[in-house]
Amino acid sequence: MDHQKTIARPYAKAVFEFALEQKKLDNWSTTLKLLAMIAENPAMQSLYSDPNISPEELSSIFLGISGKDENTKNFILILNHYDRLSLLPQISELFEEAKAEYEKVSTVFVTSAFPLEDSIQKKLKASLEIRLQHEVIMDYELDKNLLGGAIIRAGDWVVDGSVRAKLEKLKQAVIS
């Protein structure tokens, strides 16, 4: 997957810069999400390696489903020319990351053993906005497998405040 993201990164960067220049970040965001869904469809994926489908036919099928404007058509044709249509999910994901960074918005995933009270959610959000220096969108999830505490994820940044993690640290300290 990392290899695919590496290949997808220049395409995502190019389309992000184009969308920013055109002041159409939201339009391209929506378009790329749609194109990613099409590219992930099992029927479409089987066409990528079908020797009976020419590149022109693949582009035509893709454009027929997506039915988009001239810029999107050109983007699809470029991706198809370089055999990169299957990378659309990664391109879309990288575009969304660049868009969130540009707009100074971070999605934070909080997994907790028990429901968090509204007051705790508000304090946590405020603290994270200070720490991350971004607007924070919180996504909460309950995990009954946690003994207690919570795990907070924002991109590559992870805070494991679960009881299990604390017990593991204690175990390692005792064993060492």
How distant is the alpha carbon of residue 107 from its chain centre?
10
Q: Mean of the pLDDT values across residues 109-137?
A: 89
Q: How confident is the model at residue 145 (pLDDT cuts 50, 70, 90)?
A: confident
> pTM here?
0.70
pLDDT over 80 at 140, yes or no? yes
Cα–Cα distance for residue pair 39/46, rounded to 1 Å: 10
pLDDT in tens, 65-102: 876 788 988 999 999 999 999 999 999 999 998 998 89
- Closest by CA position to 147, among listed 161, 129, 132: 161
Percentage of the chain lying above the pLDDT 70 cut: 98
